[in-house]
Structure 1
Amino acid sequence: MSVVRYRKLPVEVDTIQWTGTNEHEVQEFTGGASRFYALDDADRENSDDPEATATVYDRLHSTWVLVYTGQHIVRGVKGEFYPIAEDVLGETYERVTDAGGPDDRQAYDGELAMYRELVRTLRAVARPDEADMNEVRRLLHHHAADDAAARAENTQGDSK
């Protein structure tokens, strides 16, 4: 059997970060003390890893999972809960704003105009005769100039 590659579907999940002191908030998020609790010293000594500070019940896999301070508790697509390290969360998900889009990327002035020019370019490429190719070259040159100007303007706005 050969290896098959899959891409994760774009889904939205809710998370709460375990700070080591917000047990009540995390319990409200997960459904109570029967689904999440902080480990006391005795629990930590008897666990698989004494560095763990809490545990969350993953009902999808019918098991308790150790949680470390700083990890986020994710409510998965099936209602299951599992911990994820902050760096892995950042590599796997992007934060969603109230508007439903990513909030870590901002459009800069002129970006919409550049996309319109690119659409025109693609339409021209669909009919590649010499006149159209000259138009493609003109549009690409215009796009490159707009892109450079918009990025410079965006960089100046960031430094203010």
Structure 2
Amino acid sequence: MDTHTLPAPTSSRPLRFDTKIAVLLRSDLEPWQRLNVTAFLVSGLGTAVPELIGEPYADADGTPYLPMFRQPVLVFEGDGALLSTAHGRALARSLPVAVFTAELFGTGNDLDNRAAVRAVPTAALDLVGLALHGPRNAVDKVLKGARMHP
């Protein structure tokens, strides 16, 4: 087999994953904030749950590209109260969670980001986004009341 040729998919049916990767964003964010928060949040999942990362990519010319998640990332939105509720549900289920708080829009580096989160008790976090991974049914229960991002 040519080293640049990838094998054909084994099935034409879409895969159904037993787990779900989801991002929940506060619905009042500006478009640039939604994109920025989503990017930051999912980076945490990839490092905490390395099996979520697939194999590296390559194009037909053999140019290598970085690996990505092996399954889709679903993006949802809801108000601040829903984010707080979902956060509590995720913690109660011991799911891996990444958080982004409103204070992080005013910091410019990882050290200050971590200090801003550490300065606030769990129940008082001003959440603008969270990302989580876990069994499909558990993630669905955490996100109950959220709607898919438009």
Q: What TM-score comes out, normalization by structure 2 length? A: 0.21
Q: State TM-score, norm by structure 1.
A: 0.20
Greater relative CO (CA pairs within 8 A, separation 6+): 2
Normalized per residue, which structure has more strand?
Answer: 2
